[in-house]
Amino acid sequence: MIRGVRGAITVKEDNEAELVSATEKLIRQMIEENQITADQVASILFTVTNDLKAAFPAKAVRLIEGWRYVPVMCMQEIPVPDSLKKCIRVMMHVNTNTAQEDIMHVYLEGAEVLRPDLSTSNQA
């Protein structure tokens, strides 16, 4: 069965190094908390808010050994007034037998406000 694993992180500045580093941190934590291997991943969708333009966050996936062939795509978030700024969101489609309620969604660096009910930092 395919399940969606959600994640989000914010950055302070719109520059390539920060976007890629933050995204790599987020993806690695999503992988660790859900014990995901590249072979389980059908695809990963990334969105960024319209104030982030310096780099494609999907570039971070290529920094993870063994993840070269995972399909990735980047898009821009809908610019909803008063929404969270400088935010990178991830939807990873994973083949897993894990129950929906047992998926560990990861929200970091201020992005916890998007889904406080799902944030792993609130489940400890």
Which residues form the domain of 47? 2-122
pLDDT, position 119: 61
pLDDT, position 30: 97
69 is catalytic: no
3 is catalytic: no
107 is catalytic: yes
Contact 44, 72 (CB under 8 A): yes
What CATH number has the domain bearing residue 87?
3.30.1330.40
- The runs of H, that is alpha helices, within the chain are 16-34
pLDDT, position 124: 42
Domains contained in the chain, number: 1
pLDDT, position 123: 46
Nearest to 22 by CA among 71, 51, 50, 55: 55
Which of these is catalytic: 13, 62, 65, 101?
62
pLDDT, position 44: 98
87 is catalytic: no
pLDDT, position 113: 78
Look at residue 13 and give its three-state secondary structure. coil
pLDDT, position 109: 86
pLDDT, position 122: 45
Nearest to 115 by CA among 4, 31, 13: 4
68 is catalytic: no
Answer whether 0.85 is exceeded by the pTM.
Answer: yes
pLDDT one digit per residue (tens) for the chain, 124 residues:
999 999 999 999 999 999 999 999 999 999 999 999 999 999 999 999 999 999 999 999 999 999 999 999 999 999 999 999 999 999 999 999 999 999 999 999 877 878 877 765 544 4
